[in-house]
Amino acid sequence: MDLGLKGKRALVMGSSKGLGRATAEALAAEGANLVISGRNLTELEAQAGQMRAAFGTQVYAVAADVGRLAEMDRLADAAMQAMDGVDILVLNHGGPPVGLAVDLKEEQLVEQFQKMVVAPIRIANRLLGQMRARKWGRILTVGSSGMKQPLPNMVLSNTLRAAIVGWNKTLATELAPEGVTCNILAPGSIRTDRTLETAGAAAKKRGVPIEQIFKEREAAIPMGRFGRIEEYGAVAAFLCSEKASYITGSVVRCDGGIIRGV
């Protein structure tokens, strides 16, 4: 299937590894030009070279930290300058520290609110105007299954990602007549560095080997296995494509069926 992404211009945040990188590579494989972003410019430039060689598309590297709002402005402007516009914006950031609601400190909440809520909204607002002017755009947020079913020991993620769900739905409704879609792609248990981090925290808390945590988690997944990042990237590319033009305001799950609700 031709997804109609050849020549489209995408800015993918948090794309040096994990789900962000899988999304960037899936878009590049479909012929999209990219700006990839993360905090380590050396890693990003190496990745950009690898992607240009593998997919034959234009790939630019721009370092930016979601914890610094001015860098969101700089990232948006750099992407606009490099590609003469941005058709697709993929919002992504590292996961917040794990922890219980009863232990939550206000300073943690404020710090992560800026990274997980303010920064994504800020960069989206900076790029929305040119999408609306062209009557075409895609905003895709890398989410979490906690947006559908709160996850244990992940109070910051559960709390702040819920705010993004509300923002995404509101924005999607406002932009629907203008050809700009806004969706969230929520992973379940997919093997990433974040998966290792949360499993390690759970193992430490319970005093059990990390292998036991992985076995328990796999047993809870109807497909009986963790997902591959390439499986997530494929769905992300579809949601950013011409073919997904009638999907907006949705939280789409790529989770092997782990969320039990309908």
Q: With contact defined as beta carbons under 8 Å apart, do 171 and 182 qualify?
A: yes
Tokens 């994990």 sit on residue: 18
Q: What is the pLDDT of residues 224-238, one digit of tens each?
A: 999 999 999 999 999
Cα(75)–Cα(61) distance, integer angstroms: 10
* Contact present, 36 and 61 (Cβ < 8 Å): yes
- In this prediction, the residues of the chain whose per-residue pLDDT falls under 70 are none
- Distance separating alpha carbons of residues 27 and 188, to the nearest angstrom: 21
Phi first, then psi, for residue 33 (nearest 5°) are: -90, 150
Output the pTM of the full model.
0.93
Kindly report the length of the chain: 262
Instruction: Report pLDDT for 203.
Output: 87
| CA gap 78, 63 in Å, rounded | 10
- The DSSP secondary-structure symbol of 117 reads I
Residues 83, 62: contact at Cβ < 8 Å?
no
For the beta carbon of residue 126, count every other beta carbon within 10 angstroms: 18
Q: Which CATH number fits domain 9-190+228-254: 1.10.1740.10, 3.40.30.10, 1.10.1040.10, 3.40.50.720?
A: 3.40.50.720
pLDDT value, residue 237:
98
User: What is residue 250's predicted lDDT score, i.e. its pLDDT?
Assistant: 98
| Cα–Cα dist 159/145, whole Å | 13
Query: Rounded to whole angstroms, how far apart are CA atoms 241 and 4?
Result: 6
pLDDT given at position 1: 83
Structure tokens at 236: 């992300």
Contacts of 257 (CB under 8 A, 6+ apart): 188, 221, 222, 223
Burial-class residue 145 by CB neighbours within 10 Å (0-12, 13-18, 19+). buried
Tell me the helices (H) and strands (E) count for the chain, helix number first.
Answer: 9, 7
Token digits of residue 134: 């062209």
Burial class (CB in 10 A: 0-12, 13-18, 19+), 191: middle
Query: Which amino acid would we find at residue 27?
Result: L
Name the residue with tokens 């939550």: 104
Cβ proximity of 39 and 62 under 8 Å? no
Structure token digits, residue 161: 């990602």
pLDDT value at position 199? 83
The domain segmentation of the chain, as residue ranges, is: 9-190+228-254
- Among residues 84, 77, 103, 216, the alpha carbon closest in space to that of 155 is found at 103
